[in-house]
Chain A
Amino acid sequence: MASSPDSHLPAPFSPPSDRETASPLIYDLRGVEVAFENRRILGPLDLQIRAGDFLGILGPNGSGKTTLLRTLTGALRPSRGDVRLLARPAADYHPLEMARLVGVVPQQFSLDFGFTVAEMVAMGRYAQGGHGLAFRPKLRGLPAASPGLLRGEPRTASLRDDEVVAEVLSKTGLTALTSRPVTRLSGGERQRALIAQTLAQDTPVLLLDEPLNNLDLNHQLEIMQLLSSLHEAGRTIAVILHDLNMAAQYCDRLVLLEEGRVAAEGTPQTVLDPRLILEVFKVRVTVHHHGARPYLTPVWSRDQRLPSDRAAPRVHVVAGGGAATPLIEELVARGFAPSLGVVSVFDTDYLTAERYELEVVSAPPFQAFPIDAIQQMETLLEESEALVVAPVFFGSGNLELLHLALRALEQGHPVVFLDPDSCAQRDLAGGEALALTQAALARGARAAPTVDEVVRLLDQLVAGRA
């Protein structure tokens, strides 16, 4: 997607310095409720959208996202409350006035007749005067209270329609498909043609309902980057997204809907809280960060059990330096409840345990493990089905963990070593770690070359116990 400096879609106004206080209100929703046949499907809900916002609307299926968007466009009239666009009820706008202010990318559309892509996109010019032979109704004057928003509007009216069409086609990567009939496009191409049609409308406000539907990852990112540059140029954008991470990366403000109400609103950091996500989406996620923006990963579980379940068999893992992370994630996915230790605070494995809210015995970094940490770990071991030793590097600081493994064997606990063959390379204690490992294996510890093998051995143990 080329974005040339001499862009035909200039900024309708410059981004305000202090958005929260200085930006004029575009949308003001107060006590809005929408009902179908006496059943309330949205609200009561308050929401403000200010000039220059890049708002992401999130929520599970059926939480009222599309209803909210259709209320903003005036297609749905609220049964209670007030939806105001530039201080005037949205439902009072003539469609032509609305179409000059607000561009909409709906979730679906149909065009069964064989218009070409260029013809379809050119239809977006209707409201700006590219209407061919058609009467144009006289517009009531736009509201006086439209502060700065409509300066220089319509921005592309001086341009020829075909120039605008050519530009939005290039921005959406459709130039090569200009003269192809819409009926012969793939799903993703149709979706981009729909977005191009809306962009040709050249409105200061854009509302999009799942614009990434049917798009591959490459085009998803292109469309989000395009929206981002339109936002940079001063447009106000509200977009319904299913991909929470996409929303976190691109939107400045998120609103999370749950059963027609606002469950949370604010920056991505405040809205994408794992507890909130669990409550609204019923999904456990762990939060990472990509730059300052949160990045969520679902807890990939191929098992019905969650690590916090009482029924999950417990396994203690000797970890450190990130060597145990793949093992821990696989154990969680397979329905085990691993505990970790002893590891240094902020060790990679420690962070993994924290993400999955696992029990972990920790110690300050760069010091010998304190006695009470070792005791704590022995207590955990008593409650565990087995002890698994991950392929960690051993030095004088953590050699104590191998002694503990030997003691566990003596007390009759099953012990599994993951990849003991590589122990020689991981021995920073002058051969002592290797000797201890070999001693453990000689006394009945099991060796497992792969994570899968560890899980198989643990499954056997649990089955044997039951």
Chain B
Amino acid sequence: MSVRESFAALAGLLWHGSTAKGDFPDWAPRLLLNLRLPRIALAILTGAGLSVAGASFQGTFRNPLAEPYLLGVSAGAALGATIAIIWKPLFSLGMYTVPLLAFAGAILAAFLVYRLATFAGHTQSASLLLSGVAVGSTLTAVLSFLMVTTERDLHTVVVWLMGGLGAATWHKVFLALPVVAAGFSYIVLNAQRMNLLLMGEDRARELGVDSQRTRRNIMVAASVTTAAVVAFSGLIGFIGLMVPHIMRLLVGPDHRRLLPASALFGAFLLLLADTVARTVLAPQEIPVGIITAATGGPFFLYLLRSRRGV
């Protein structure tokens, strides 16, 4: 199908619905409606969600290496998804078994990490990072054990772990959308508080921010957002780490600009990467994480070297 035919089919879909007829194959409007458009929507949600979550973790931890998977969300989601894939019959949730267990695993892992790092009501950044690593590697060990002891579903598990948007449906989009929208709104409304938190919890408190509470809430919002997109898109790396850095170089460190800019650019970047992943070796698809890492890494290095000292 040519580009011209695609646009004609899209116009037909918009004016006459999925049964539109015209200067394009009869199946084209239905393909657009049921496959392409949900995939585009999921790419936008995932890219935006991961980027905003990444920016939030980097800001609240004051650590440029922080990423959305910091609290063990990735390992938790992976383990949940793997359990769902291997013991599918045990959970009668139909097509939502994998995403729901992945989401549950991600939330449980993040909760566990947060609890382990909290002593007498205070949560220290260093303890969070360390317990995130510890919980993550423990869960990954369980995951690896499950993978080597199963043969039947190994391929399915590996494909899920690599991440991809190929299985997007409108149902998935409408399940993820409210979670991502809520998390994103909460985080953006706390943008100025995140700016103040960059000066450290003590200083932010002196300036009027309830630091502990704000940081905890932002971490919860970012982790839930991440869990929601990971549950449907699998583990897509790089976006959540690099997009906030790229945007920080372009629009500066102010979260009131940085967060919306990261959401936009993350959505755009993942959509672009997914399109490339889908078409470059068509009909075979490449895992989208390979595209994001292969293009974003050099672009980031270019920015870093051309705008040094920003």
Residues of A within 8 A of B (CB): 73, 75, 94-96, 98-100, 103-104, 106, 109-115, 119, 123-124, 126-127, 131-135, 137, 181, 184, 197-198, 201
Contacts and interface: CB of A to CB of B under 8 A. Distances in A.
B242 interface: no
B189 A95 contact: no
A95 B252 contact: no
Contact of A133 (B62, B189, B252): B189
A131 B207 contact: no
Contact of A201 (B193, B200, B207, B256): B207
Contacts of A127: 207-208
A254 B269 CA distance: 61
Contacts, number: 87
Contact of A94 (B210, B248, B253, B309): B210
Nearest to B190: A134
B200 A110 contact: yes
A98 B256 contact: no
Contacts of B210: 94-96, 137
A327 to B, nearest CB: 53
Nearest to A134: B192
B199 A134 contact: no
Interface string B115-128: 00000000000000
Contacts of A198: 206
B202 interface: yes
Nearest to B210: A95
Interface string B196-207: 101110110111
Classify chain B's interface size: 20 to 34
B198 A113 contact: yes
B196 A123 contact: yes
B281 interface: no
A114 B253 contact: yes
A174 B193 CA distance: 24
B192 A132 contact: yes
B202 A75 contact: yes
Given A99-B207, A134-B190, 8 more contacts: A75-B202, A75-B205, A96-B210, A98-B208, A106-B203, A114-B253, A114-B310, A115-B195
B56 interface: no
Nearest to A105: B206
A133 B254 CA distance: 12
A109 B203 contact: yes
Given A75-B202, A133-B191, A113 B209 contact: no
Interface in B223-267: 248, 252-254, 256
Contact of B191 (A96, A109, A132, A184): A132
Interface of B: 62, 188-193, 195-196, 198-200, 202-203, 205-211, 248, 252-254, 256, 309-310
A110 B199 contact: yes
Contacts of B253: 113-115
A111 B206 contact: no
27 contacts: A75-B206, A96-B208, A96-B209, A96-B210, A106-B202, A106-B206, A109-B203, A110-B199, A111-B198, A111-B199, A112-B62, A113-B198, A113-B253, A115-B252, A123-B192, A123-B196, A123-B207, A124-B207, A126-B208, A126-B209, A132-B191, A132-B256, A133-B189, A133-B190, A133-B256, A137-B210, A201-B208
Nearest to A97: B208
A133 B207 contact: no
A106 B201 CA distance: 12
A135 B210 CA distance: 12
Nearest to A131: B192
A126 B195 CA distance: 10
**CB-CB nearest 8 A-B residue pairs:** A99-B208, A127-B208, A113-B253, A132-B192, A104-B206, A96-B208, A134-B192, A109-B203
Contacts of A115: 195, 198, 252-254
A126 B191 contact: no
B213 to A, nearest CB: 9
Contacts of B202: 75, 106
Contacts of A119: 195, 254
A247 to B, nearest CB: 23
Contacts of B188: 133
B208 A95 contact: yes
Given A95-B205, A112-B62, A137-B210, A123 B252 contact: no
A100 B195 CA distance: 19
Contact of B207 (A110, A126, A132, A184): A126
A95 B209 contact: yes
A204 to B, nearest CB: 15
